[in-house]
Every structure is written in structure tokens, then in C-alpha cells.
Structure 1
Amino acid sequence: MFGPQVPTVTTPEVGASAYLLDVREPDEWAAGHAPGAHHLPMMEVPARIAEIPEDGDVVVVCRSGGRSAQVTAYLMQHGWDNVRNLAGGMGAWQDAGRELVSEDGQPARVL
């Protein structure tokens, strides 16, 4: 049995007020992420689920969209109805010319 279709959003559709939930690993986050994003590695989501807003737009992002789709489905199964997966992940974000910031002193990049 398949779960509900995971709703997606494209980079141009992500508004300034969206809560961007980055579920990549710490090294990926440090290399480059969207300004104002919130880092919560995928494997920590079950333990830290209360940190994720239940209202407003929540956009889940990873490198290419696979892990974030899993997290989006997980959140939907646990009652979140305001979550969407970023189609194409941080690769699409970068390709669209959206801003990236790094935490490691190197130019921002997507690992």
C-alpha cells in the first residue's frame, strides 16, 4: 500500500515567509544552505519533531529531493498538513540562482 502523494513545491514558489527545513547531514549544511533555513538532520526528525511548526508553510529540503520527500511523508503521517517537499532539492535551489551561505569558511556550495 502506498502512502499519500507527497506534495512538492518548486524553488520559485518558495516564499520568503516559508520555514525551510534542511534535513541534510551536518557536512552538507556547513558547505552551503539557504539563508534563514533551519537545520534538522533527517535521522533526528523523530526525536525533534516538536521543533517543526504545524502552521505556516514548511518546505523540506535535502540535496536532490529524495530524503526530504521521506521526511515530508513522515510528517504528514504524524499530522502535519503544511509540509511540502522542495522539488530538486538544494541543487535546484542553486540552479535557480537563490542565495547560499556556508558555515565552513569556504564559498557556499551544494555537496
Structure 2
Amino acid sequence: MTAQLTPLDPKDAADLLTRGQAILLDIREPDEFARRHVKGARLRPLATLEADPLQIPKGQIPIFTCRSGMRTAANCDRLAAAVGGRGHILAGGVDGWAAAGLPLVENRKAPLELMRQVQIVAGSLVLAGVILGFLVHPGFFGLSAFVGAGLTFAGATGFCGMARLLALAPWNRPARA
């Protein structure tokens, strides 16, 4: 029998969690989790799944979540293989949980997720290049082309130089005690 994960409504998931019959595993990256997550969820980044096998407490059913449910749905086969038995994905993810009025842990002081920062900076640079290209000098269109080439390279190779630079920004550094 092949392991399968089935969608589970947030209220049903909350009921299982309250009764101690399930464990909620958030597959997002630590920066996403730090900003907003379901209370009681355990961080288990998707990137670490194969390197570190899942340890599901006996008698508990794993429920996987991400922000919107898209990432868990797209990786359902990988997650099911890691579970090897019965499990669920949280329908609608953390967003669905919030829409159902269930409790979240939110830290507005945590920096925006790194990929959102990349999207904001890249979009701003492209827009600035286009505006300056029309208003000041056509050479500024090169800025937009440079950013576009960088994003294409990042998508093709998995290496994003802008993300690496933004990770070094003061607001992305861990606070010292």
C-alpha cells in the first residue's frame, strides 16, 4: 500500500491537535516560520526532509502545512514517502488556518521572508530602470536588463546573488542577547 496524504480542513486539524492525536509540521523555511505560524506547529523545512528522516511520535498523525497549501500539495508525494503511512496536508495552509479564525503566532518584528525581500528589491530596480530609461537616459534600461538576467540565472541555477546580499543586511541578522 502506498502512503497518501489527504487534505484536512483547519477546524478538523485543530480538533486532532487539541486531542493530541496529530502533530503539525510546517515545511517552510525558518524565516517564513518566524514571521507567522500556527501555534504549536513544529518547523520542518522541506529542504531537510531527505537528510533528516521524520520522527513522528507514536499514535500521532502528521499534518503538513505551508503558507497557502500550494507547497504541500506540490510536494505531496515526497511528504507521503517521508511519512510512510497515514497523514494529511492542511487545506489552505497557514492562510486557511487564519481564515478559520484559529490561533496563530505572529512576530511583526521578524524581517520579511528573504524571497519577498528579493521580489521587492528586484521589482523596484526594474521599475526604476524603466522610468529612468524613459525620463533620463536610455542607458538606464540596462539596469532592468541586468536584474532580469540575474533573476533568470537564479531560476536556472538556484543561486540568487541578491538573496545572498540581502541576507547580510542588518535587519536580517539575528539579534544579539
TM range (shorter): 0.7 to 0.9
Q: CA deviation at 1:32?
A: 1.0
Q: Specify the alignment match of 1:27 in structure 2.
A: 31
Alignment of 1:1-111 (within 5 A): 6-14=5-13, 15=16, 16=18, 17=20, 18-53=22-57, 55-78=59-82, 80-102=84-106, 105=109
Matched residues, number: 105
Deviates most, 51-60 or 84-93: 51-60
Max Rg structure? 2
Deviates most, 76-85 or 11-20: 76-85
Q: Aligned partners of 2:61, 2:3: CA distance in 1, in Å?
A: 18
Aligned Cα root-mean-square deviation (Å): 2.5
Q: 1:84 to 1:64 in 2, by over 3 A?
A: same
Q: Is the 8 A contact 1:23 1:42 kept in 2?
A: yes
Q: CA deviation at 1:64?
A: 1.1
Q: Is the 8 A contact 1:30 1:104 kept in 2?
A: no
* Cα deviation 1:42-64 (Å, max 9, x = unaligned): 11111122334464211000011
Q: 1:51 to 1:78 in 2, by over 3 A?
A: closer
Q: Any gaps of 5 or more consecutive residues in structure 2?
A: 111-115, 117-177
Q: Aligned partners of 2:59, 2:67: CA distance in 1, in Å?
A: 24
Structure 1 stretches of 4+ moved >6 Å: none
Q: CA deviation at 1:103?
A: 5.1
Q: What amino acid sits opposite 2:80 in the alignment? A: M
Q: Any gaps of 5 or more consecutive residues in structure 1?
A: none
Q: Aligned partners of 2:78, 2:58: CA distance in 1, in Å?
A: 13
Q: Is the 8 A contact 1:64 1:89 kept in 2?
A: yes
What is the TM-score normalised by the length of structure 1?
Answer: 0.77
Q: Aligned partners of 1:49, 1:74: CA distance in 2, in Å?
A: 12
Q: What amino acid sits opposite 1:84 in the alignment? A: H
Using CA pairs under 8 Å that are at least 6 residues apart, name the structure with larger relative contact order, 1 or 2.
Answer: 1
